[in-house]
Amino acid sequence: MILTFLISTIAVLLAAYLLPGIYVDGFLWAFMVAVVMGLINLVVRPVVDFLSLPANVLTLGLFTFVIDALMVMLAGWVLEPHFTVSGFWWALLFSIVLGLLVSLLNMLFNRK
């Protein structure tokens, strides 16, 4: 589990480095972003997914990207001075880049 958070932390740092609309205040706060995102995905995400099911069906699943961006913006709001997101489009791009980086790092470390 610690390796999962470390991989997510590295991915958050890389994504923040690549995207000028995202700011993270160092390794410790990138770790906190990974923890908060994990908690948001554990607690808030299932409720939002359930409530947005009709919109998700109508958009053939594309509304999931909107939900991902909103979850990133929520994490930015919780960790405000140390993790900032400049807007919805940066949050959307961050969630896509973060997902790709986590997948790439998991492949690199031979994790499934």
Which one, of 64, 70, 81, lies nearest residue 29 by Cα? 81
Is residue 91 scored above 70 in pLDDT?
A: yes
Is residue 75 scored above 90 in pLDDT?
A: yes
Residue pair 25/83 in contact by the 8 Å Cβ criterion: yes
Phi, psi (rounded to 5 degrees) for 79 = -105, 35
The pLDDT of residue 111:
64
Is residue 46 scored above 80 in pLDDT?
A: yes
Give the mean pLDDT of 63-92: 94
The pLDDT of residue 112:
61
Question: Confidence band (pLDDT; 50, 70, 90) for 37?
Answer: very high
Strands 22-24, 83-85: pairing kind: antiparallel
Q: What pTM did the predictor assign?
A: 0.89
